[in-house]
Structure 1
Amino acid sequence: MTQSADLMELREEDIRSHYPAVVAMLEGFDHTPRIAKATDRPAPERSSGIGTRRRFRSTTPGLVTRSTARPEGVRLLERIEESDGGDALVSPVQATVMQSLRRALAISLAVGENYSEATGLKALKKENLEGRLAAGQSAEFSELLQAEALAVLYTFGNAAAFLLASSASEVSVELGGIDELLTDNAQLALHGALWELDQDLERFADNEAKLVAVVLAFAEVLMERVALRAQTAPRLGAFTGASWRVEADDFTIQGFSPARKARGSTLTMQFKKPNEVVGNHIAKYQAMKLAKMLMAYDFERKLNPFAEMGGFIFTFMGDGKPGTGKTTLIQMMAGLISEYCTNAGYPFRYQNFGIDNIDSYQGKSGQNAKAFINNVLDPNVIGFGTVDDIDQIAGKRGDRQSSAGQQEVTAVLMEAFAGANTVVRGNCTFGMFSNYPENVDDALRQRAGARFLVDGPQTRDDYIDILALLLGKKHDVPLGDHDLYAAQEIKRAVARSFEQHGRPQEDGLLRVWQETEAKIGRLDTIAKLGTYLKAIQEADERFTGRAIKNITDAVKVRAMDFELPDEWMEDPELFLFRPYDEKLAMLEEMRQPITVEMVIQEINRYADSEFRYADKSDEVAIEAMVRDFGRQEEAKRRYLGGKGGA
């Protein structure tokens, strides 16, 4: 054992010394569950004459193979082999899972051995075996055994999750809790955990993708349960106060903190190019800028210069009518980030939180939302998280029609996006999308720092462009008198779109604007702009200090109203791989001064969206009441007509 600063090396020979015992454990052991109950599932029928196991099996004497004496026998290697439908040979994925479990178990036992030596537990074990353990030491002995069991269990889950991270896919499995959490001693603890894993594999691992997903999900649940139990357990200082390094795996053990491997997600979505997004000029422009902003993140400093300068978009809301291009915008932005990350060799992680993550079990929806947030926030990756149809996923507080799961999601998102513990590093961004943003909780909606109005094609040129795009090239229809895609030229279109917000677009806000200008004249000073903001607040009480912060953040983004050169994305040495301070200086040189026009446009853009949401919400409520009144009148007419006929 060597030590460097506070990080100790977990020697390879110490880990490998546990391989024989671990292989025997994976081959098979008997375990009668003490707390949990086995799943009552009949074994699958097999045709006569077909063997129940592979021909190539270990024949090492002493190892448990297939026992028929006790139904509680756990044979994980056989269980893993069954995940591919009975192929005669072990597949690469199955072999990876087997190797990872063997390695994780061996690492956990090596850590337990180190803990045992550091705390004197090793000597107490020897005395207990020899019958020399003093009566006054029994309580200490039991506490140390429990602490060792917790350390070994957590390290096993931590190592398994770390080693299998690179084999993960988009397939996910939702497991229940872990009941067979035994802490009498390390070996019994591992037997209980492996029994639980065997149960989960039997229930869910019907293909190789699910095999990996089950083991990863099990490891996460195991770590969560063990860490919770450890909060009240004594004698864990020797484990939590030390750090071990497994050099061969680039794996660090630091108490009850999970080790994360920087891995990206394998995306199967169909990416879109910017020219395939017709209309939505401001939304498209901001999404393209944001994709490049993310790439400025410095992995050594764990900070993005844009976040330090105040021009980074951490959360945004994309809203528009159905069919206006929200999904296309997501595909474009994810495609750009994926392309940039591939070129730079950065891990990219995209994750969507959808309606299928809402669970009927109390607390599970909140856990799913928390896992989604943590996966995207991981400072070792470039992350992009989306919440599509957020009006269906996150419930309004106080709304009786919202389920408990939806309320849990709302609470988690609000805390993550602008809570007391929120840290914006600039390595990730979250986009919330909705066709009906007026149905989103007001406080959650205001957590969105930027607003992307996804209004689809608007002009005649837009409609010609989208028709030509969707028709494709395999047709004989002439284009006619039109400069194809010229209207989509981003800088000209964006400038035109921003100019439109020099005056409000919504009628309610326009009245406030006109009344304010009539009283104090042209809005050209901070004092006059503040007066305008107060007038907006008087017209809409939801326009609070958070709205002002979102507006000023948007103005700072406008001050960064430059697009990082494409060459910087193509050749990472020009910018991405530069030291943090150099990147910061390069961006400072490109910063533009903040003008009155910028501030007015951003106030109107944000306030227009809030007035639009309020108007929609009121109009929907009025239409619902009108329908109800109409039904009542029709019911009364039919009722009176029926009585008259009688």
Structure 2
Amino acid sequence: MNQNEMPLSEAEIRSHYSAATTVLTSLAHAPRIAKPVAEAAAAPAAARSPGITASPRRMRSTTPGLATRAPRAATGTVRLIDRISSLGDDELPGPVQAATVRALRRAVAIAYTVGDAFAQRCALAEMKQANKTGTLPAASRAEFSQLLTAESLIVLSVFGNAASYLLASNAGEAQVEIGPVEEILTDNAPQAIQGALWELDQDIAAFAGGDETKLVPVVLAYCEALMSRVRDRAATTPHLEAFTDAAWRVEADDLPISGFDPARKAKGSQLVMAFKKPEEVIGNAVAKSQALRLSKMLMAYDFQRKLNPFAELGGFIFTFMGDGNPGTGKTTLIQMMGGLLNDYCQNAGYPFRYENFGIDQIDSYQGKSGQNAKAFINNVMDPAVIGFGTVDDIDQIAGKRGDSQSSVGQQEVTAVLMEAFAGANTIVRGNATFGMFSNYPENVDDALRQRAGARFLIDGPQSREDYIDILTLLLGKNHAIPVGDHDLFATQEISRAVKASYDRHSRPQEDALAQVFDAVTGRVGELDTLEKIGTYLKAIQEADGRFTGRAIKNITDAVKVRAMDFELPDEWMENPELFLFKDYDAKKAMIEELREPITTAMVIQEINRYADSEFRYAGKSDEAEISKMVRNMGLQKKAAARFAS
């Protein structure tokens, strides 16, 4: 348990089981905000909760952005347990139905327990007692009402949070959209829970019908919508500090409760991926080296302090861009880094989450793509896990602003990623990193691309030795062909290859940038002072207006990474007691001892590496536009000739 978290008593949670069971078994609720929803047409009459009158099924508009709610059905007694048990063809409830009921009962009990804890931490508990005895002063009634509103929102948030967390293991691939939650009542905690359970019953009727496989997706969708709506209300609600400034944990479920942040994601998911070892990544020396180093950097994250010493000292890579031609090893690099992190985390007992944001998460419904992107960001950045997020083929997923070919969904994703990677509210704790990969980075929005703090040029095998190594690797062992006069995988030794790669960037690789470099050094001489280096940077900006202050920040961040140009020893990963399990200050001191001073050569090489990539992207982008214009002119010429004939 985090030393800042307070345990929630299991005895106190179970003391609320009776009340929770009662409201799940039967409650009478007259909706005050929402309208009664229709019974699902597919649900048998016997499955309807007594008192709920059948009416046409609620439908979702197929037009993005339009209404998601239709009129609801009449008021009556709701029996949520009966509703859940009646799903499916079997007269007896199945395992998923039973698990759902148990999860909802425990979630209600946990919510009531946290509500009690909140009341004890502020003046609400005393005010409740005074109100009960009729001794509450008239001057305190306004504050009392505000505190009851705060408690109601807290209980609703914890209920949705706990139910979602407890049902996470039963979640499948199916997803259900239910629209916004409406019955948010803030009179008091019991009334708030009754309103929530009433609306959940309505949604199960409308969206699960008689299909038990849709039960958990509907409940999870409702919980997410509930938490989102409550979070919005909480932003303008006073007296929440006693809840938001504290943190609790339910030991039996390993459930963390920290403000209005969802905890369902805190359970690290099992990574399913074909892992690759570093020697199986042929070529790509710098990218491989930085990925290996970054994997170990992430492991320095301190779960108690919720901060990584590398993030404090400088040199942590929060975002990076990997670009290269098709078939040069981008997927292999992802598999290598994911495999390393998975192995390190398993050895240390840390939760690890890998997620990829793919094209299938671009949705035709307005706003849904942005929601998917935000959920992806939140899952990876969860401070309770080590997170690795990738956006493969980002040029297809995130649209360029102003590009008529980009869909609304792609534009939404671009906006979310830009805000998440370098927005006003971005907090880099050092527990997560994001990699954007593309064969055509020139097609990525300039501002989004510049939010990549590091650049990994993934150029694949280059040398004769690389091609021998990759041929041998891919052929496998089912042959007796001799290797010949070649030291297999010797050139894949990272430190040697990385030094050679860095040395190449002592001068630019792109012709256009080389001209700028030669002009500046011809005028001011060797770039050995900050004044001369600044002159070079200004000359680059004059040659390419997209080379802004953000580019300088990315370069200086890369230089700080070079100052951390060391790998944490393998034995520190293999034996967590040597480093990983030490306290934050001890880890920070150990890292500082390994840090190297920044040199002029580092600065020049990192300027050239970054600027080379920007000039390369600009050159490809310009060439693509020119090719398009030439083709259009050719077509116009042919059309005119055909018209004239």
TM-score, length-scaled by structure 2: 0.83
Distance 1:248 1:516 in 2: 65
Residue-by-residue CA offset, 1:355-386 (whole Å, 9 max, x unaligned): 23333444333333222222222222111111
Name whichever of 239-248 and 524-533 sits farther off. Answer: 239-248
Name the larger-Rg structure: 1
1:19 aligned partner, one-letter code:
Y
Among 419, 423, 426, the residue aligned to 1:422: 426
2:158 aligned partner, one-letter code:
T
SS at match of 1:297: coil
Give the aligned partner of residue 23 of structure 2: 25
Among 118, 121, 128, the residue aligned to 2:125: 118
Conserved? CA contact 2:42–2:209, under 8 Å: no
Among 490, 494, 498, the residue aligned to 2:502: 498
SS at match of 2:353: strand
Give the aligned partner of residue 193 of structure 2: 190
Distance 1:291 1:85 in 2: 49
Q: Percent identity?
A: 66
Among 496, 517, 520, the residue aligned to 1:516: 520
Among 366, 378, 384, the residue aligned to 2:388: 384
Give the aligned partner of residue 106 of structure 1: 109
CA distance 1:525–1:356, change in 2 (3 Å): same
| RMSD between aligned residues | 3.9
CA distance 1:402–1:254, change in 2 (3 Å): same
Name whichever of 484-493 and 200-209 sits farther off. Answer: 200-209
CA distance 1:530–1:486, change in 2 (3 Å): same
Name whichever of 520-529 and 162-171 sits farther off. Answer: 162-171
Among 551, 567, 570, the residue aligned to 2:571: 567
CA distance 1:236–1:268, change in 2 (3 Å): closer
CA distance 1:244–1:428, change in 2 (3 Å): closer
Shift of 1:512: 1.1
Residue-by-residue CA offset, 1:83-109 (whole Å, 9 max, x unaligned): 787596643x55443322111112334
Distance 1:453 1:240 in 2: 43
Alignment of 1:399-414 (within 5 A): 399-414=403-418
2:363 aligned partner, one-letter code:
D
Alignment of 1:361-510 (within 5 A): 361-510=365-514
Shift of 1:294: 0.7
Name whichever of 261-270 and 30-39 sits farther off. Answer: 30-39
TM-score, length-scaled by structure 1: 0.83
Shift of 1:13: 5.0
2:494 aligned partner, one-letter code:
I
Question: Structure 1: which 5+ residue stretches go unaligned?
Answer: 47-51, 54-64, 128-132, 642-646
Conserved? CA contact 2:44–2:210, under 8 Å: no
Shift of 1:37: 5.5
Shift of 1:336: 0.5
Conserved? CA contact 2:41–2:209, under 8 Å: no
Distance 2:144 2:552 in 1: 60
Shift of 1:342: 0.4
Alignment of 1:343-362 (within 5 A): 343-362=347-366
1:20 aligned partner, one-letter code:
S
SS at match of 1:515: helix
Distance 1:632 1:568 in 2: 66
Among 143, 153, 156, the residue aligned to 1:153: 156
Distance 1:545 1:6 in 2: 38
Shift of 1:195: 3.9
CA distance 1:454–1:37, change in 2 (3 Å): farther
Give the aligned partner of residue 633 of structure 1: 637
CA distance 1:478–1:80, change in 2 (3 Å): farther
Conserved? CA contact 2:4–2:304, under 8 Å: no
Give the aligned partner of residue 41 of structure 2: 42
SS at match of 1:484: coil
Distance 1:147 1:592 in 2: 51
Name whichever of 576-585 and 240-249 sits farther off. Answer: 240-249
Name whichever of 538-547 and 357-366 sits farther off. Answer: 357-366
CA distance 1:445–1:20, change in 2 (3 Å): same
Distance 2:566 2:241 in 1: 52
Name whichever of 404-413 and 105-114 sits farther off. Answer: 105-114
Give the aligned partner of residue 532 of structure 2: 528
Give the aligned partner of residue 176 of structure 1: 179
For these two proteins, the number of residue pairs brought into alignment is: 616
Distance 1:171 1:276 in 2: 36
Shift of 1:257: 5.4
CA distance 1:240–1:428, change in 2 (3 Å): closer
CA distance 1:342–1:621, change in 2 (3 Å): same
Conserved? CA contact 2:507–2:608, under 8 Å: yes
Residue-by-residue CA offset, 1:573-630 (whole Å, 9 max, x unaligned): 1111122222222222222233332222211111110000100110000000011111
Name whichever of 606-615 and 264-273 sits farther off. Answer: 264-273
Conserved? CA contact 1:166–1:263, under 8 Å: no
CA distance 1:498–1:382, change in 2 (3 Å): same
Alignment of 1:6-405 (within 5 A): 12-28=10-26, 35-36=34-35, 38=37, 41-43=40-42, 67=50, 70-71=53-54, 74-77=78-81, 80=84, 86=90, 90-91=94-95, 94-110=97-113, 115=119, 118=125, 120-121=127-128, 149-164=152-167, 175-183=178-186, 186-187=189-190, 189-201=192-204, 203=207, 212=216, 214-231=218-235, 256=260, 258=262, 262-405=266-409
Name whichever of 484-493 and 428-437 sits farther off. Answer: 484-493
Residue-by-residue CA offset, 1:129-185 (whole Å, 9 max, x unaligned): xxxx99999999987876654343223223323444566677765553213434566
2:426 aligned partner, one-letter code:
T
Give the aligned partner of residue 65 of structure 2: none
Conserved? CA contact 1:205–1:214, under 8 Å: no
Distance 2:182 2:432 in 1: 36
Conserved? CA contact 1:277–1:329, under 8 Å: yes
CA distance 1:237–1:546, change in 2 (3 Å): closer
Shift of 1:120: 4.3
Residue-by-residue CA offset, 1:35-80 (whole Å, 9 max, x unaligned): 245356432689xxxxx89xxxxxxxxxxx9749855775544555
Distance 2:90 2:276 in 1: 40
CA distance 1:257–1:274, change in 2 (3 Å): closer
SS at match of 2:498: helix
Name whichever of 237-246 and 605-614 sits farther off. Answer: 237-246
Among 589, 593, 596, the residue aligned to 1:589: 593
Name whichever of 510-519 and 535-544 sits farther off. Answer: 510-519
Among 614, 619, 623, the residue aligned to 1:619: 623
Question: Structure 2: which 5+ residue stretches go unaligned?
Answer: 55-72
Shift of 1:337: 0.5
Conserved? CA contact 1:568–1:576, under 8 Å: yes
SS at match of 1:465: helix
Distance 2:453 2:386 in 1: 19
SS at match of 1:431: strand
